[in-house]
Amino acid sequence: MIPLLLIRHGKTEWNALKKLQGRRDISLSPEGEALLQGCSLPKEFSNFQWLSSPLKRAVQTAEILGANDLQIEDRLIEMDWGKWEGFTIKELRGQYGDAMAENEKKGLLMCPPSGESPADVQARLHSFLKELKKPTVAVTHKGVIRAIKSLAYNWDMTDKSPVEFNWSAGHLFTIDEAGHPHAKAVNIKLDTA
């Protein structure tokens, strides 16, 4: 079993506005950077390898947290929100009405026009998880973490999440030889100076 600590990137301007960012390469906001300053991983993770999504907000977060020998892993990129990118969920519900509600009810199969479903994200992540060979910190995105969480808890995303995640904390999984994640510890607080 390979330990995998997942960390969501820090806050961006679009996070503050509740806009779906998807693949848009947005930097951390000044507030997001300030909240991360002085934070680090608990010592138990000091020998883990560091990986990051290729998007700036994830790379910046990893660097601020003290990533050593950071490597970019393209499969950790955020879910592709397609034509929904840049909109809030509230705006989309207003624009699409019943069609949006029906799409949201699909859970793992919910898919934005020209985008990815959470099930697509899981499929993209399968080879990544199966290839993990050493303890790893991965700085990534909410959509990616939710996809892994869904696998670990056998949650189809059609109802309330079985466990609440604090998005400014770390979430530790162990990955078995088949590439399946198992929840080990959630809401691990970052150390602060």
* Cα–Cα distance measured from residue 167 to residue 142, given in angstroms and rounded to the nearest whole number: 8
Which tokens hold the place of 125?
A: 């992540």
Residue with tokens 């479903």: 117
Collect all residues with Cβ–Cβ distance below 8 Å to 104 and sequence separation of at least 6: 110
Residue 89 vs residues 86, 116, 165: alpha-carbon distances, Å = 10, 16, 20
165-191 b/e with 16+ CB inside 10 Å = b? beeeebbbbbbeeebebebeebebebe
Number of continuous H segments (helices) and E segments (strands) in the chain? 7, 8
**Catalytic residue positions?**
9, 141
d(CA 101, CA 94): 10
